[in-house]
Structures are given as structure tokens and as C-alpha cells.
Amino acid sequence: MHRQSVIIITCVLLGTAAVAAVSAEPDSSLQPGDASVRTVASKNRDDLEVTAQIRQALATAPSLSDLARGVQVATNSDAVILRGVVEPEEQDRVDSLAQQFAGARQIIDQLTVHARE
């Protein structure tokens, strides 16, 4: 069961009290910077095909590490969402490969760059 935490904000203004509940956990299916772009995968045939093409391109790219080859791809009618860990020099390459198949879809890069020790 998903537990949602709530922050209660109380404001006192001119002797009256107002209470507002604000969710501490934003809807994870929305892109933080653009609430109109969904970041969940669609089951639409065209979207699934784009996802498969991008996964294939990542899996067979000889210049990518195993980390980058394992990037998760989710596609919907508005966006291609990339999640996972990549080496610093691979982030642009992964974005570029995805863009080749995305068409008019926005690329939402939620990749984490692997920190070198």
C-alpha cells in the first residue's frame, strides 16, 4: 500500500486561521518542470515500437558501457523518458540515440551520472 505523507500548513491572518494540506510527494508521473508532460509509459503500439527501437540501439551501441546499455526507456505520445545510471561521457550519447527514434516526442533525461571515485 502506498503511503502518502502530508504537510499541514497553518496560517494566521487577521485573526482567522487557514489550514492547507500540501502533498509532500508530487505525482511521479509528471515532469517536475512541466506538469503537462507525463513521464509514464504508454501501451500504445507506436510508443512501444519507439521504446523497442531505442532499447535495441542502446543494447547494440559498442561505445556504451553496460550501465548505459541498461538504461530504462519509457515512451508515451509526448515524451521518451530515460532512467538509469550512465558514465559522465555517455549521457549526451544516450540522449542522442533516443532522439533518433523519438520523432516529435520530448526527451526527458532522468539519468544519473555515475560518480567516479
Domain residues of the chain, as ranges? 28-113
Distance CA 3, CA 80 (A): 28
Q: Where are the alpha helices (DSSP H) in the chain?
A: 45-60, 66-69, 91-102
Q: Alpha-carbon torsion 32, 36, 37, 38, what sign?
A: positive
Q: What's residue 73's pLDDT?
A: 97
Q: What angle do CA 14, 15, 20 make, to 5 degrees?
A: 90
Q: Which residues contact 16 (CB under 8 A, 6 or more apart)?
A: none
Instruction: Note the pLDDT of residue 116.
Output: 74
CATH for the stretch 28-113: 3.30.1340
pLDDT at 27: 41
The pLDDT value given to residue 106: 96
**pTM of the predicted structure, to 2 decimals:** 0.67
- Helical H segments across 14-44, by residue range: none
Q: Mean pLDDT of successive 10-residue segments in the chain (117 residues)? A: 36 37 39 61 89 97 95 96 95 97 96 86
